[in-house]
Chain A
Amino acid sequence: MKYMMTPTSIQRIIPRRAIAMLTVTAALVVSLAPSRFLAPAWADDAMSVVQTTVNQALEVLRDTQTPLVQRQDKLRQIVSTTFDFTEMAKSALGYHWKQITADQQQEFTKAFVAFIEDSYLSKVNDYRGQQVAFLRMTTDGPQYAEVSTDIVEPEGKDPIHLNYRLVQEGATWKIYDVTVDAISIIANYRNQFNRVMNNQGYPTLISDLKSKQAALAASLANH
């Protein structure tokens, strides 16, 4: 916000006609440009993306008045805007991604997204009012960032270190991996999927994934 100028100060620098031209051009560019270029240049950095997402999620978790199903829907909405689930699915399959057909890629992505979402949602019931501390952001080149957070556990227990790995896509940051106590979740699934792909093949992988997801969904419905 500090970069914003008041209309009068702009007018002093640029003549009125030029402003009109610029406005028209800008309107044209904006209406024609793909939506991902719309985000302003001062768009949120990785840290504020994580903060916003986590705070929104915490709000839903703390709101015990609303029925569980509604809260889960809300959480699903929140995570779907900041997590790049497609990239996660692709990354979790590693080099096997290129070995399956386009249809299978779609099928796998859909199943994996549902599985990850339900894993996340099933944590709703585990929430015991823990606080989240946003510690720091480290960058790896201009495109990648890692945001470290701690889930503060009750007295005497070590905090859970939860880090979010983000990639810049256009002007927005998307989460592509989460580490729990320094264990990368996507890498962990990659090793699991790699074993199933090598030992049994894709049909087993997809059916196992679907049945695990169904089990999670069923336990969610029971609450």
Chain B
Amino acid sequence: MTSGSKQIERTGARWMMLASSLLAVVSFATPAMSQGAAPMSQNPAPQSAANPSNQPPGENNQGGYADPIAAFNEPMFTFNLKLDDWVLRPVASGYATIAPQPVRESVSRFFNNAHVIPRFANNLFQLKLAEAGDEFARFGINTTLGLAGFFDPADLWFGLKKHPNDFGLTMRYYDIPTGAYLMLPFFGPSTIGDTVGLVADGAMDPISYFVPFWVAVTVATGSGAVQAVNYRSLHLNQFEEADRYAIDLYGAVQDAYLQIRVQDVKKLHDEQW
């Protein structure tokens, strides 16, 4: 624990400051914003058609999700499927044949470790000090003992668990409407708010402060592509499986994404003391 951890500490302190200021902004913005716009993605348009008295719990969504920019989303979804079909899956399965699974899992851990800052910061934004502390400690341990994050001794030896978090979840945590469903090219399912979160989390990447913008973007794109290939290689049958059981794949992906986001933020609320 020498200069490396000092560097982390300094970054940590900087983030602590930024976190508190951002938190102030967020808490002021919340009431104003929730008055301004309706949470479209979670507000099914035909809800009134339902019979609320005769409904199982958790079943208040009797139609589907509102999808005001479906005209954009649907072609993007097709684009992503083609991209996967023609590029991502072939590359990932080729990569899977040369790199054994434990190696690919290690690579996935490496990227996970490198992306500590958004997780740390967003846990902090939600005043989850213990979780932020865990993430901080995990990064320190896994970067050193875990050989740059390829291994996870923080969990194996110290029982420090991951606390995934992102800015989109922070917005949901404070009930900020996340806007319409949005299918992003390359990145996949999102919402307007989650896309803002994606940009915010990306901007937290420290590399962007030290090199010119175009270098940062190139590096981010390159590492993003490697991550995508690595991820896909670990989930080779995912889309094929999903398509087998889907009547409308677009709708299946949309619902799964939105349900997961709601569950994630519910978990964040539940784990509070």
Give A residues with C-beta under 8 Å from B: 91, 94-96, 98, 119, 122, 140-141, 144, 165, 167, 176-177, 181-184, 186-196, 198, 205, 208-209, 212, 215-216
Contact = CB atoms under 8 A, between A and B. Distances in A.
Contacts of B259: 182-184, 187-188
A184 B263 CA distance: 11
Given A94-B50, A95-B50, A183-B259, A191 B56 contact: no
B29 interface: no
A77 B46 CA distance: 37
25 contacts: A94-B63, A94-B64, A95-B49, A95-B63, A98-B49, A122-B244, A165-B56, A177-B56, A177-B59, A182-B259, A183-B255, A183-B259, A187-B255, A188-B259, A190-B61, A190-B62, A191-B65, A191-B255, A192-B248, A194-B251, A195-B248, A195-B251, A208-B248, A209-B247, A212-B245
Contact of A192 (B58, B59, B251): B251
B260 A183 contact: yes
Given A95-B46, A182-B259, A141 B62 contact: no
B88 to A, nearest CB: 23
B236 interface: no
Interface string B233-262: 000000000001111101110111001100
Contacts of B100: none
Contacts of B61: 94, 187, 190
A194 B263 contact: no
Contacts of B255: 183, 187-188, 190-192
A194 B59 CA distance: 15
Given A94-B64, A191-B254, A191-B255, 16 more contacts: A94-B61, A95-B63, A98-B49, A141-B57, A167-B56, A183-B255, A184-B58, A190-B61, A190-B62, A190-B63, A191-B252, A192-B64, A192-B246, A212-B244, A212-B247, A215-B244
B256 A188 contact: yes
Interface in B12-64: 46, 49-50, 56-59, 61-64
A190 B64 contact: yes
A194 B56 contact: no
Interface string B58-95: 11011111000000000000000000000000000000
A169 B63 CA distance: 25
A208 B256 CA distance: 20
Contacts of A205: 247
Contacts of A208: 247-248
Given A188-B255, A188-B256, A196 B63 contact: no
